[in-house]
Every structure is written in structure tokens, then in C-alpha cells.
Chain A
Amino acid sequence: MAHAAGGRLEIRGIGKTYGGARVLDAIDLTVENGEFLTILGPSGSGKTTLLRLIGGFTDASEGRILFDGIDMTPVPIYRRPFNTVFQDYALFPHMTVGQNIGYGLTVRGEKKATIGEAVAEALSVVALDDYAGRYPAQLSGGQQQRVALARALICRPKLILLDEPLAALDAELRRQMQKFLKSIQRQVRVTFLFVTHDQHEAITMSDRICVINDGRVEQVGTPEEIYYRPRTGFVATFFGENNLLPGRLTDGAGPWTVDTAFGPVACADRRLAELAPNAAVTIAVRPEALRVAAINGAPHDDAPGDTRLEAEARSVDFVGPVSQITAVCPAAPDRPLLVKTASRAGGTAVRPGDRLTLVWAAADCAAMAGVAADPPAAGP
């Protein structure tokens, strides 16, 4: 299916207030033509509201939505060149699969033959060739999902909005559909704006991710940037686990050193260059970046490291491919460090109570300006 060129979406200063409650605040976001951008956030963060504003289902309290430079704010839903895949699919129960898919063309008054051809093509794109005559109630969840996608694709939109479309599917089917959606997106080269609360889904599918929390954009970046170079404590801890070490920048020129409760930590994050000496900084180190260099004084993992810490192992948990060690540093007993090491048959050599020497590289440290909030008690 060839789609017309274009599809750059600009969101400028969008805000939304519902009965006194601020749901979205000063959102700025640009989605490039042909990009797969995911809006990621916990439930209640405002991500679905943002999608509904773009789709035209709700009016923004302020701000503008530009599409290929044209202001979409006053354009009614049925004239916007976007199509939506809904969370509950919203397939019309009184129409067959074929009629559902052809709906967008039917209401535009296309000729029957044209609609028939387009429907057949759309059905083959989503691999449901023989299902035109079925009713939605006769399909499985995954099949309904594909019909919803085909129905959105047939109008040849320049932008497809997907509102947690995989949330209702079981884990295995969801993985298949993730691959499928991604391949369709490459095939039709249309801009996808995808909303989810699932970090794994966001990381594996997106070109870029926009993390929003409490109605504000926390960070926009590639999955690698979001994972390894978080800008806020929320982003650092929303994607898997992270060790946060608050401190102050000691000297202004790289390689930098940050003074923390754990002692001096070497950090190679270039973003530190923008900060003045003595500025408050929080270092984030992934648990898998921490290595156990020695156990009770005996050398263990021969890993190089720019920062070295003595700590005592409190617990060791086997969680499948990795084992998690919780270690406490005497200098900062209220901030236990999490270490993830690859699991081996026979278990890891570390036992609770062991004295550990932990090392990590300066390159594995992300620096965030300010004192990042502590990780939330329970992840979403």
C-alpha cells in the first residue's frame, strides 16, 4: 500500500484542564514523517488524553497541533488525515470484517468496486484473506486487532494513532503483534504514534520514545538514550531498575568526579559539561553495569572500573537469566545498591554476608542535574 508523502506532527504547548484538574501541561513534541514514536507513561499520566487531543476526540484547553505545517486544532475529527486503532478495537458489531475495513471508503462515497479491491488488499496485508464475511464477534482478540489495523490503514492516513492496542492480548500474542505492527509500519511507511504503559513494548518497537508523567514530558529520545541517558529520576527508574547516587560535581572539566555519600564517583556523561562546579547531580548506574571485583578480599571478576566501592552482600536472589545481589555500603547504609550478574548453573559465588568490592566504568554512569527523587516504591 503506497501512502502519500508527508506526516510531520508538531505539538506546541498543548494543555488540558478537566474540571480544575491539570491533565496535560505545556506539551511540546515533534513526530517526524515515517517515524514510530511511542508515548510512554504510567496510567493516569495523561498519555491517552494526549492521543485523543491529536485524534480530535477532545479539544485542547490551549496550544496547537500542526500537521505538515497546517493547524489541525479547528479541524473536526472526520476531516483529520489521521486514523486511530482503539484499545477495545471498536469494531462495528453489525458489520462484517469486510464492511468494517471498507467503512472509511464507504462513508467517503467511493465506488463499490474500488472499495472491494482495497478491502481485499488490506485483508492480505494483515493476513486475514478469508475472513471478509465473518462478524467481529466470531474472531479472536488478535484477529480483531488486525482488522482494526486494516480498517485504519485503508484510508491511507499519513499518521496512525494507536491507543494501547495490545493491552488486551496475552503475553505471547502481544509479542507476535509487536513484531507484526513494526513490520507493517516499515512496509507502509506511515507515521505511527503509539501509546503504551509497557516499557518493554516501547523499547522494542519505537524509533523514539516520549516519556510522560503527571501530564508533562519527562524526556524524548531513542530507546538507548532513554535507557542509558535518562534525564530525570522518573525516567531512570521507570525503565527497569537503577542505582541512584545523589551528590555534587567536584571539578568542572572532564573526566568528571561526583562526590556522593558512597565516596567519589567517576562519570563520563558529557551532559556534566553544562553544569557549574558544586552543582547538585544524581548519578544513575544500571545494576548490570556493576561488577563484583572481589569477594572477601579474593579476586573474582576481573573487570576494569573507574569507581571502586566496598559493600556487604545482604541478599542474593536467583531470577532466571540474572541473579540479583543487594549490597549495602557502610558509608551510605540507607541506600542499598542493586547488582545484576549473569546466572550460572551452580549459582553465583556470592553469599549473603560476603564483603564485596564493586566496580563500574565511568562510561556506564548517567548524570542527571539536581537531586533525583527516590525510585517509586512500586513500579507500574
Chain B
Amino acid sequence: MTATAAPLPALAPPRRATALARRLAWLAVIWGLPGLFILVPLLTFLVYGFWRVEGAEIVADFTLANYVNFLSNETYPRVFLRTLGLALQVMAINVVLGYATAYFLAQIRGRTRYLLVLALIVPLLMSYIIKVYAMRGLLGANGLLNQALMFVGVLDRPSNLFLFNLTAVLITLTVVLLPFVVLPVFIALERIPRSYVDASADLGATPWRTFRHVVLPLSLPGTVVGAMFCFVLAVGDFLAPQLVGGTRGFTYGRVVFSQFGMAFNWPFGAALSVILLAVAMTVIGVAGRLGNPRWMRR
């Protein structure tokens, strides 16, 4: 017995070492890939933002000029604030529309409910450009919106109010981003057991009070997540404004885009991106707080 057992302690340390090496390898993969593909590009932007451009050359010496330029300029902060306002509007409209849609979906029983949810997911799988182009068709002078309004008698002739301005961007982003609110809210609502609603009514709450005290608070985390998706995606978008915004629908995303294109000022573009990133991160942070209230943490 002792003779056969003796070699074991000698073998143990190398085995433990392999286990450790394997763990480290896994950690390297888990942290390394996102680090390489997400963190490094972001850091590159951060660094670029402190460089400057001279003619067609990017000069790598430290300067705060890009940030000073942003703040001292008259246009950029205005476009920035306007874009924030736009994203907030898109978010507010979509929270109301998306919550109502999700609530309606959650009330439906049986197979119809999931068919409708599927119909909502399909657009998410489609190309973003195609969706924006489709919206351009709907909003144009001969588009569905104008046709419908004329048919009903609200308009006498096609209006140009719905295309190539900020309203067009607002409508397009609202429509395109709606599923991002509906889905998390729907999941949150679907998770509320029927017995909570029964218990609330049983304790004397009218349907409205049950909604306000039980259903709404329990679906709030999902709603916050949906609102966050909507805001972050809207505030940085440049494709929709580019395609339906025209000259009047100028947004921050387009400013950033132009710095990397026509203007060829990568360091300034990078600095503008960092500002946008800071806003997005702040919103995500706040949403993370609101979306995970104390009662959800065990």
C-alpha cells in the first residue's frame, strides 16, 4: 500500500501546474479576444484624439487642441446637443410606443403572440441600409405617408416636411429602433407570474393600481434596458441622417463621419468619437443601475 502510494505526491505538483496553465490559457482567451477587438481599437481612438493633423499627415505629438476646438467652436456643441435631444426624443417616443406594443403582445394568449413577436424580430435581421431606404420611400413626396394623409384629407398636395430634415431622421430612427424597446419589455412582462396580478387584485387593487404598483415596477428594468439600447443606437447613428436627413438633418454622427472622410482629420474625428463614447457609457452606466434594482440582487 505505502509502496504504491509513494509516487503520487511526487506527481501532484506538475499536475496542478498544468491545471493552472490551462486556467490561464482560458482567461487569456476570455479576456484577450474582447480586449483585442474592442478595447484596443477604443484605446487607439483615445490616443488619436490627442494627436494632430498637418496637411495630409497625422502628427503624433500630444495636444489638447482637438477638444479645445470642439468646445470653442460654435457649430459642434450645438449639433452635439441637438443630436442628444433627437436621441432623447426617439427614446421617449419608443418607450411609450414600445411599452404599449409589448403590453399588447403579452396580453395575447397562445401561438399568435409568438408569431407577432417573430414578425418583430424579422426586421432586426434585415440590412440596416435597406430599412433606411425603405423609410425614405415611405416618407417621400409620393410615399405612403403622403398618400395616406391625402387620402384621409389632411393634406391637399404632397408635403416635403417628412423628408430631408430632422423630422425625417426622427421618424426613421423611431421606426427602425422600435423592436429594441419592444423585445426587452415583452420579456420582462412575460416573466411576471399571473399570480402576482391575481394577488394584487385580490388585495383590493383596481386594474390600474395593479399596473402601477406591480406590473410597471416589475417591467421597469426591461424598459430601462430597451430605452438604453434605443438612445445609444440613435445618438451615434450616421447612416439614417445621411440618407434621409438631407442638408437640414445634420447630426453629430455625420460630423464624426465627415472627419474620417472628406475632412480627413482623424485626430479631431477621434476626439469627437471619445466625447460620444463618454455620453454613451454614462447612459449605459445609469441604465445598469436602474435596470438592476436592489430587489433583483440576491
User: CB distance A90 to B213 under 8 Å?
Assistant: no
Contact of A83 among B195, B202, B207, B296 (CB under 8 A): B202
Query: B residues within 8 A CB of A57?
Result: 198, 201-202
Tell whether A107 pairs with B213 under 8 Å between CB atoms, given A78-B205, A94-B218, A155-B204: yes
Complex: A333 Cα to B217 Cα, angstroms: 67
Asked if B293 is an interface residue, CB under 8 A from chain A, the answer is: yes
Asked if B203 is an interface residue, CB under 8 A from chain A, the answer is: yes
Complex: A4 Cα to B5 Cα, angstroms: 78
Tell whether A107 pairs with B203 under 8 Å between CB atoms, given A57-B198, A94-B217: yes
Those of B207-221 within 8 Å (CB) of chain A: 207, 209, 213-214, 217-218
Contact of A77 among B193, B202, B214 (CB under 8 A): B202
User: CB distance B195 to A88 under 8 Å?
Assistant: yes
Q: Mark A55-91, 1 if CB is under 8 A from B, else 0.
A: 1110000000000000000001111001110111011
Complex: A91 Cα to B214 Cα, angstroms: 11
Complex: A95 Cα to B196 Cα, angstroms: 12
Complex: A79 Cα to B204 Cα, angstroms: 6
User: CB distance B196 to A135 under 8 Å?
Assistant: no
Q: A217: shortest Cβ distance to chain B, in Å?
A: 25
User: CB distance B213 to A103 under 8 Å?
Assistant: yes
Asked if A7 is an interface residue, CB under 8 A from chain B, the answer is: no
Complex: A56 Cα to B195 Cα, angstroms: 13
Contact of A88 among B193, B204, B294, B295 (CB under 8 A): B193
User: CB distance A93 to B218 under 8 Å?
Assistant: yes
Q: A221: shortest Cβ distance to chain B, in Å?
A: 29
Complex: A91 Cα to B295 Cα, angstroms: 12
- Nearest B residue to A87, CB-CB: B195
- Nearest B residue to A106, CB-CB: B213
- Nearest A residue to B217, CB-CB: A94
Tell whether A90 pairs with B298 under 8 Å between CB atoms, given A84-B202, A104-B203: no
Q: B195: shortest Cβ distance to chain A, in Å?
A: 4
Complex: A241 Cα to B201 Cα, angstroms: 42
Interface centre among A76, A92, A106, A155 (most CB of B within 10 A): A92
Asked if A137 is an interface residue, CB under 8 A from chain B, the answer is: yes
Q: A42: shortest Cβ distance to chain B, in Å?
A: 22
User: CB distance B204 to A107 under 8 Å?
Assistant: yes
For chain A, the bracket of interface size reads: 20 to 34
Complex: A332 Cα to B216 Cα, angstroms: 67
User: CB distance A92 to B199 under 8 Å?
Assistant: yes
Complex: A104 Cα to B295 Cα, angstroms: 20
- Nearest A residue to B206, CB-CB: A78
User: CB distance A83 to B203 under 8 Å?
Assistant: yes
- Nearest A residue to B218, CB-CB: A94
Q: A52: shortest Cβ distance to chain B, in Å?
A: 8
Those of A126-149 within 8 Å (CB) of chain B: 135, 137-138
Query: B residues within 8 A CB of A111?
Result: none
Complex: A55 Cα to B199 Cα, angstroms: 10
- Nearest B residue to A102, CB-CB: B203
User: CB distance A94 to B293 under 8 Å?
Assistant: yes
Complex: A87 Cα to B194 Cα, angstroms: 12
Complex: A137 Cα to B206 Cα, angstroms: 26
User: CB distance B198 to A86 under 8 Å?
Assistant: yes
Interface centre among A55, A90, A135 (most CB of B within 10 A): A90
User: CB distance B198 to A137 under 8 Å?
Assistant: no
Tell whether A92 pairs with B202 under 8 Å between CB atoms, given A103-B213, A107-B209: no
Query: B residues within 8 A CB of A135?
Result: 294-295
Query: A residues within 8 A CB of B217?
Result: 94
Asked if B200 is an interface residue, CB under 8 A from chain A, the answer is: yes
Complex: A152 Cα to B204 Cα, angstroms: 11
Query: A residues within 8 A CB of B198?
Result: 55, 57, 77, 84, 86, 90
Q: B6: shortest Cβ distance to chain A, in Å?
A: 48
Q: B150: shortest Cβ distance to chain A, in Å?
A: 46
Contact of A108 among B193, B202, B204, B214 (CB under 8 A): B204
Complex: A90 Cα to B200 Cα, angstroms: 9
Asked if A229 is an interface residue, CB under 8 A from chain B, the answer is: no
User: CB distance B202 to A94 under 8 Å?
Assistant: no
User: CB distance A90 to B193 under 8 Å?
Assistant: yes
- Nearest B residue to A83, CB-CB: B202
Q: B63: shortest Cβ distance to chain A, in Å?
A: 50
Complex: A333 Cα to B248 Cα, angstroms: 99
Asked if A340 is an interface residue, CB under 8 A from chain B, the answer is: no
Q: Mark B187-199, 1 if CB is under 8 A from A, else 0.
A: 0000001011011
Query: A residues within 8 A CB of B202?
Result: 55-57, 77-78, 82-84
Please name 5 pairs of A and B residues whose Cβ atoms are closer than 8 Å in the assembled complex, sorted by A: A56-B202, A77-B198, A77-B202, A106-B213, A137-B298
Which residues from chain B sit less than 8 Å from chain A, CB to CB? 193, 195-196, 198-207, 209, 213-214, 217-218, 293-296, 298
Which residues from chain A sit less than 8 Å from chain B, CB to CB? 55-57, 76-79, 82-84, 86-88, 90-95, 103-104, 106-108, 135, 137-138, 151-152, 155
Closest CB pairs A-B (n = 7): A104-B203, A90-B195, A90-B199, A107-B205, A77-B201, A94-B295, A84-B202
Q: A94-B218, A107-B204 are in contact. List 18 more A-B contacts (CB 8 A).
A: A55-B198, A55-B202, A57-B202, A78-B206, A78-B207, A84-B198, A88-B193, A88-B195, A90-B193, A90-B196, A90-B199, A91-B199, A92-B218, A94-B295, A107-B206, A107-B213, A108-B204, A138-B298
